[in-house]
A = this chain, B = another copy of it.
Amino acid sequence: MKRLVLLGLTIGMAMLCAAQQELSSRAAGAPRLNIDGSVTFTIDAPEAQWVKLHLDYQRDTLMNRDANGRWTFTTSALKPDVYRYNYIVDGVKVLDVNNVHMMRDVATVMNLLIVPGEQSDLYTVHDVPHGTVSAVWYNSPTLGTDRRMTIYTPPGYENSRQRYPVLYLLHGTGGDETAWLEQGRTAQIVDNLIASGQAQPMIVVMPNGHVDDQAAVGFTSKGLDTPTFSHSQWMEGSMERSFSDITSYVEKNYRVSNLKRHHAIAGLSMGGFHALYISANNPSEYGYVGLFSAAISSRSDSECDLYKDIEQKLKQQFRQRVSLYWIGIGKDDFLREDNQRFTDMLDRNRLRYTFYESEGGHEWRNWRLYLTQFVPLLFK
**Which A residues are within 8 Å of any B CB, using their own CB?**
18, 21, 23-27, 30, 43-49, 89-95, 97-102, 104, 107-109, 112-114, 124-127, 129-137, 146, 148, 155, 158, 217-221, 223-228, 252-253
Contacts and interface: CB of A to CB of B under 8 A. Distances in A.
B47 A220 contact: no
Contacts of A220: 125
A132 B129 contact: no
Contacts of A136: 132, 158
A45 to B, nearest CB: 5
A27 B102 CA distance: 20
Contact of A135 (B43, B89, B109, B133): B133
A218 B45 contact: no
Contacts of A219: 125
Contacts of A130: 137, 146, 148
Contacts of A134: 132-135
B45 A92 contact: yes
A45 B92 CA distance: 6
B226 A100 contact: yes
Contacts of A98: 226
A200 B301 CA distance: 50
17 contacts: A26-B225, A27-B226, A47-B91, A47-B92, A89-B89, A89-B92, A93-B94, A97-B109, A100-B109, A101-B217, A101-B224, A102-B109, A114-B224, A125-B218, A125-B223, A129-B137, A132-B137
